[in-house]
Amino acid sequence: RLAVYARLRDLPAVTRDGVRIAIHMNAGLLLDLQHLHESGADGIGLYRTELPFMARSSLPDVAAQTLLYKKILDQAEGKPVVFRTLDVGGDKVLPYWNPYEEDNPAMGWRSIRITLDRPAVMRHQLRALLRAAAGRELSVMFPMVAEVAELIHARQILDMEIERETRSGHPMPTRVKVGTMLEVPALALQLDALLPRVDFVSVGTNDLMQFLFAVDRGNPRIAERYDPLAPTMMRFIRYVAAKCREYDVHLSVCGEMAGRPLEALGLIGVGIRSLSVSAPAIGPVKTMLRSLDVAELQAYMESLLESPDHSLRHKLRYFALDHGV
C-alpha cells in the first residue's frame, strides 16, 4: 500500500467530478518537513509551534525562534506554511511556566489567553516569525480564539511588531496573512464580525468537538460517546463553510477527523474544500477523494442533516461502498 501511496504523490487530489481539494499537512517538528515533499502535500496547513517550547527548560529567545522558523520555511521550499502561535496549557504543559493547578485546564488559562496576558511572549514569537519570513510570505494563525476582540487584540500586537521591525530597517515578509483557528463554538456566532478581519480560518475539530459536545478530548471513557459525524457537528461545519464562502475567506479543517477518510468525506459533503492532516493520512485521504463524486455526496448529505441520528457514520459508509469510494 505504501508503494501505491507513493505513486499518488504527484497526482492531484481531484474528485471524479473535477473538484480540486487542497490537502495540507500538520506538523510540529523540523523532522516532519521531510514528509511534506514525500507525501506531495500542498503545504503545511498547521505548524504547531509549541513543541520546541515544551522540550526545553526555558522559553526560547527571539534568535533561537527565528533560526527554527527560518529552517522550516527553507525546508518547505516555497510551499505555504501556516504557523500557529503558541498553544500551550490544557493538555500541553510548559513545565517551567504553569504554576497553577486548574480544575478544568482545557477551559483554563491556555493558548491565546496566555499569550494575550503575557504579550512579551506573543511579541517575541511574532518578531521571530517576521524575521524568519523576510522576503517571503508569512501566514500566522491564532489558536483558541473565543471572541473577535481577542483576534483584534492579537492583530494589534502583530501590527506593532510589523511597525517596529519596519522602523528598525529589518527586511520584511512580502505579505503577512492572518488567520484564526475556529475551535471554540462561540466564535462561529461571530462570523460576520470575524470574517472581514481575517485572511483564513481553520477549524480545529479536536477542541471543537470537546466544546460543542462538552466531552473531554482526553478521557477514554467518553472518547466514543459522540461522533464527529453527528448531524449536529456536520451542520455546524456546513454553516461555517457557507459563511466563509460568503465572505470569500479561505477555510480549512485541521483537526484529526480530516485525516480519517470517512470523516473527511463527511467534511467534503458539507462544503469543506481544504484539509490539513497528519503525514500518514495524506495517501488514504487522497485515495478517497479521487474516487468521490462530490455533487452526489453533497445531495445525499443534504437529505440527512436534519435527522436526529446519533451519527451519519453508517450511512456514509454505505454511500462509500455503493459508490466505489
CB of 255 to ligand PEP, least distance (A): 3
Task: Please state, in angstroms and rounded to a whole number, the distance separating the CA atoms of residues 252 and 32.
Answer: 20
HEC string of 65-116 equals: HHHHHHHHHHHHCCCCEEEECCCCECCECCCCCCCCCCCCHHHCCCCHHHHH
Question: Which position has the grid cell 467530478?
Answer: 17
Is there a contact between 293 and 41 (Cβ–Cβ < 8 Å)? no
Q: Report the chain's C-alpha Rg in angstroms.
A: 20
Binding to ligand PEP in span 130-189, by CB under 6 A? 183
Can you tell me whether residue 200 is helix, strand or coil? strand
The option from ligand PEP, Mg ion, none interacting with 255 (CB < 5 to 8 A, set by class) reads ligand PEP
Least Å from the CB of residue 205 to ligand PEP: 5
How many residues sit in the footprint of ligand PEP (CB under 6 A)?
A: 10
Task: Please report the beta strands in the chain, taking only residues with DSSP state E, as ranges in sequence order.
Answer: 22-27, 44-48, 81-84, 137-142, 175-182, 200-203, 250-253, 274-277
Cβ 254 to Mg ion shortest distance, Å: 9
Q: Distance between CA atoms of 208 and 253, rounded to whole angstroms?
A: 11
Closest separation in Å from C-beta 27 to ligand PEP: 11
Instruction: Report which residue's Cβ sits closest to ligand PEP.
Output: 204
Burial call 99-132: b when 16+ CB within 10 Å, e when fewer? eeeeeebbebebbbbbbbeeeebbbbbbbbbbbb
Q: Give least dist CB 300 to ligand PEP, A.
A: 26
Give the residue, chosen from 25, 41, 254, 288, that forms a contact with ligand PEP under the rule CB under 6 A.
254
Stretch that binds ligand PEP, among 93-101, 171-179, 201-209, 307-315 (CB under 6 A): 201-209
Is residue 87 at the binding interface for ligand PEP, with CB under 6 A as the rule? yes
Residue of 206, 232, 298, 311 that binds ligand PEP (CB under 6 A): 206
Indicate whether 205 belongs to the interface with ligand PEP (CB under 6 A): yes
The option from Mg ion, ligand PEP, none interacting with 48 (CB < 5 to 8 A, set by class) reads ligand PEP
> Which span sits near ligand PEP by CB under 6 A: 55-63, 204-212, 240-248, 293-301?
204-212
State how far the Cα of 272 lies from the Cα of 283, in Å rounded to an integer: 18
Helix (H, G, I), strand (E, B) or coil at 7: helix
256 binds Mg ion (CB under 5 A): no
Residues 38-57 that bind ligand PEP (CB under 6 A): 46, 48
Where do contacts with Mg ion occur on this chain (CB under 5 A)? 183, 204, 207
Give the footprint of ligand PEP on this chain (CB under 6 A): 46, 48, 87, 183, 204-207, 254-255
